[in-house]
Structure 1
C-alpha cells in the first residue's frame, strides 16, 4: 500500500471519533498547501512533509495527536500546543473527544512549520 492507502486504513480501523478526527485533521493539513506530501513512517504513523517533516499523526487509546517536529521553534498564537511542552524540539497537540479547533488556527501553525523548514533549508 502507498502512504495514502495506509492512512485510509488507519482511519477505517479506528471507526470512532478518533478516526473521524484524524480524517478531519488530514483534510485540513492537505488543504493548507497542495505541495504537502503524505508519507508513512516509523512502523505505522502518518507523516506530512514539505521539504521536511511538518507533523506526525497518531491515534491513541483516548486521543488523536499531531506532533510537530520543530514545534518549539514555531509561534503558537492560538495556543494549540498542549503536549510535549518541556522539550526544546517537538511540540504536540493532543485532541480528546469533543475538543474543537478551527481549521484556520491549525493551518496557520502548519504554514509556520513549512516556513520554518524552508528557512532552515536555505542556511
Structure 2
C-alpha cells in the first residue's frame, strides 16, 4: 500500500474537515484496491500542490479540495453503474462523474469501494 508523500503533505496542510474527509476517502481507496497508485498531477502556480490522483490501469479518480467541499471525480464515471447514487455532480458530463462531499456529510464506505472497483474494471476493459 504505497502512499504518495505529496498527498501526505497536502493532507497535513489541510488541518480541517476537508483534510479529514479526503484522508478517509484515501483510506477507502486503498482498502478497496491495494494495488492503486497515487500520483499528483496538474501542478500550476495557482495550485502548486497539484491534484491527488488514484490510478490503476489509468486514472480512476481525482481528489480536489474546495472551500465548501471535497470533490472526487471519476474519469470514466458516466460509464459506471451507481446503484447507491453516490454521484451527485457533473451528472451531465459525457465521460466523467463526481461526488461532492460537504462538511458533515458522510459516504457509504461499501458503496464507495464498489464504485472505485467498478472504475478499475472500466479501465481494464478500456470502456
Alignment TM class, shorter chain as reference: over 0.9
1:76-101: per-residue Cα shift (whole Å, max 9, x none)?
00000000111110000000001111
1:11-70: per-residue Cα shift (whole Å, max 9, x none)?
111100000000000000011111111011011000000000000001111111100011
TM-score by length of 1: 0.93
Q: Alignment partner of 1:78: what SS?
A: coil
Higher share in helix: 1
Q: For 1:58 and 1:117, locate their aligned partners in 2 and report how far apart those are by CA, in whole Å.
A: 21
1:65-80 to structure 2, matched below 5 A, reads 65-80=71-86
Q: For 2:103 and 2:61, locate their aligned partners in 1 and report how far apart those are by CA, in whole Å.
A: 20
What does residue 115 of structure 2 align with?
A: 109
Q: Give the unaligned 5+ runs of structure 2.
A: 44-49
TM-score by length of 2: 0.90
Q: Give the unaligned 5+ runs of structure 1.
A: none
